Structure 1
Amino acid sequence: MQGVRFEPTEEQRRTVRAMSGFGIPQEDIATFLDIEPKTLRKHFRRELDRGMVEATAKVAQSLFQMATSGNNVAAAIFWMKARAGWREKQEIRVGPTNLDEVSDEELLQVIQHVRDAIAEGEELAAEAAQLTTEQQPPST
């Protein structure tokens, strides 16, 4: 309707915020409201932005609760990888690339460091397994 000023309703604002949060493309939201995408962005900018932020915050809150409850090891591992920089593999770097330049003493230090890291990883895995076992409800 050209020439008629568009006035969004509160129901349309709620709908846009929800659809935006669900990740529905703006063009599809505009089609749903039977308006042009440009009109959508002009009149619903706040709802488009807030919908995405609110949805992300809600999912982050849910993931955080799952990760910290002790009942969802996968969520905790994901959180540590995404937020704390944990990795599946450890990277070991030795200074010189030519091993002929590395003294026996330096090689022994590197070997001991690797052994310590492996032992620490095994201890952490055992602790995690123990925590997981303790968190399981008793079998009936």
Structure 2
Amino acid sequence: MIYKYAILRGIFGVAIFIDVEEIINPEIIEGDLQIIEGIYLRINGSLPFLSQRDIEKYIKRSILELSEVINQRLHGSPVCFYIKSVETNPVHFQEEGLYCAMRGWLAQNYDLKLEPVGVEYSKEEKRFIFDI
């Protein structure tokens, strides 16, 4: 399922399309990252806009923060979130948007009602400030 995260303030914006597949009772393969026991993350090779630092800081964090509810919804069944693609434009990309995109995908996939992440545009820094 593809999820689109977008934030726009005037002429400035961030837009990220993340395509994730939920694999229940997965066969764990080399390279899968364990988030917690029973929850794994798989990345489709080398994706532009998705560095190892970004995976750790934003993607894993968004999953970890919702891991309890994920386990409840799946009744403890193991799951692997397979990120098949991340698409954006360098002009409309900011790393923190990865957190919001993955969190949004999880919310949509599990029908969760989550408070939106606070986002403000800083003219001085010429970037968005995310409340994460």
The structure showing larger relative contact order (alpha-carbon pairs under 8 Å, at least 6 residues apart) is 2
Fold in common (TM above 0.5) = no
TM-score where L is the length of structure 2: 0.24
Give the number of the structure whose alpha-carbon radius of gyration is greater: 1
Structure with higher strand content: 2
TM-score where L is the length of structure 1: 0.23
